[in-house]
Amino acid sequence: MTGGDPAGVAHLYVHLPFCASRCGYCAFVVEVGREDARDAYLDAVLAELERERAVLGALDTVYLGGGTPTLMGAERLSRLLGAIAPMLAPGAEVTVEANPETMDDALAASLAAAGVSRVSLGAQSSRPHLLGILDRRAQPGDAERAVRAVRTAGIPRLSMDLMLAVPGQSAGDLAADLEWVVAQDPDHVSWYELEFKEGSAIARGPHSPPDDELAADLYEQAVEGLEDAGYRWYELANFARPGAECRHSLAYWRARDYLGIGVGAVSTLGGERRRNAPGLDRYIAALPGGEEPPRTREAVDADTRRRERWMLGTRLDEPLDVAWAGDPDNPEALVVLEDRGLIERRDGTVLLTRRGRLLQNAVMQQIMDFA
């Protein structure tokens, strides 16, 4: 490792890959029908954490993602969180992703007792026909029960994930989702556009994504609706009550170093990107014996870092410091984009305007030459 933060890495991601079934749109590293391996996997994750511990400073954020972390069950999650607890900085943000049908009062209470400060609930929609297209197991009632469980347990922050541009989704469906999610009163909402990932079941048909114009309209409708309800549109797909922004995700968008452990987990450490290989059995076999998990390593060269800083930094509603990010490939495009009202430039920073943010991808294609 070269460079990096001398005080140590402050952000930890742990991948917990078990799922009851694979949703048709999902291309994440997921293991279905392997619950038998959860104990061995936890041991391996704890071994990897121990191996990598030297790179960590006091942790500002921890994120247990998946997969379905809640399928690990209360006891294993408590063991994992107990091992992490001594590494936390005061006031650290500790998030656990949860699928609604897996959350109940007992699990929520045990997460609260283990120091979880934030639950991110994958609701996706309140519309049963859209949940069907997405192959989701949970119905809206499950999400509502999960919200109550998290609140009753006193976990300070709740985030909900929703999906837009789902095949067949109308403006009316989106309005219903908006009304429903606002009624649940989460502190934070992530509203992702459904991606038809290569190799996923949904990409093989029979559904096709809505056309670009409808997708753009649905996105704008979601942004306006959540802003009207008092959420800050602080990142292209993320909305927060004041002060409830996800600090862990902010670290990614601000291109900070982070350590990822578990199968398929990615780390960025001092100019190096490491990717743990998928494949549960090889991971489990390697770690308890003290071996490095199967992984690839690549240097993040200056050019890649510059592009990433621009691409990620312009997702936020905060100005990008050009001296920090590096020069844009096409500085002349900045003048044109400013004239068209898509960006603002001030004191060496670039900030996308509201219209620029709605078109961020197209704006960035002008500024940078992506391969």
Ligand X SMILES: C[S@@+](CC[C@H](N)C(=O)[O-])C[C@H]1O[C@@H](n2cnc3c(N)ncnc32)[C@H](O)[C@@H]1O
Amino acid symbol at 59: L
- The residue within the footprint of ligand X, chosen from 195, 272, 317, 329 (CB under 6 A), is 195
6 touches 54 (CB < 8 A): no
The terminus-to-terminus CA distance of the chain in angstroms comes to 27
Q: Which does 329 bind (CB under 5 to 8 A by kind): ligand SF4, ligand X, none?
A: none
Q: How far is the CB of 363 from ligand X (least distance, A)?
A: 21
Looking at beta carbons, which residue is closest to ligand X? 122
Q: How far is the CB of 148 from ligand X (least distance, A)?
A: 18
Q: Is 268 near ligand X (CB under 6 A)? A: no
Q: Which does 195 bind (CB under 5 to 8 A by kind): ligand X, ligand SF4, none?
A: ligand X
Spatial separation of the C-alpha atoms in residues 295 and 84, rounded to whole Å: 23
Q: Which helix (H) or strand (E) holds 155?
A: none
* Contact set with ligand SF4 (CB under 6 A): 19, 22-23, 26, 28, 30, 66-68, 99, 122
Q: Which helix (H) or strand (E) holds 115?
A: none
Spatial separation of the C-alpha atoms in residues 67 and 69, rounded to whole Å: 6
User: For ligand X, what does the binding mask look like between residues 31 and 70, x meaning CB under 6 A?
Assistant: -----------------------------------x-x--
300 touches 280 (CB < 8 A): no
Q: Is 177 near ligand X (CB under 6 A)? A: no
DSSP 168: T
CA proximity to 230, closest of 266, 188, 197 = 188
Shorter beta-carbon distance to ligand SF4: residue 144 or 195: 195
Angle subtended by helix axes 360-367 and 302-313, to nearest 10: 150
**Paired sense of beta strands 295-299 and 266-269, if any:** unpaired
Shorter beta-carbon distance to ligand SF4: residue 67 or 260: 67
153 touches 105 (CB < 8 A): yes
Shorter beta-carbon distance to ligand X: residue 12 or 163: 163
Q: How far is the CB of 182 from ligand SF4 (least distance, A)?
A: 23
- The residue within the footprint of ligand X, chosen from 4, 26, 115, 139 (CB under 6 A), is 26
Which residues pair with residue 232 across a beta bridge? Answer: 240
CA proximity to 233, closest of 284, 189, 183 = 189
Shorter beta-carbon distance to ligand SF4: residue 10 or 19: 19
Q: How far is the CB of 2 from ligand X (least distance, A)?
A: 31
Q: Is 97 near ligand X (CB under 6 A)? A: yes
Q: Is 17 near ligand X (CB under 6 A)? A: no
- The residue within the footprint of ligand X, chosen from 93, 101, 161, 245 (CB under 6 A), is 161
Q: How many CB atoms lie within 10 A of CB 273?
A: 15
Residue numbers at the binding site for ligand X (CB under 6 A) = 25-26, 28, 66, 68, 97, 99, 122, 124, 161, 163, 192, 194-195, 197
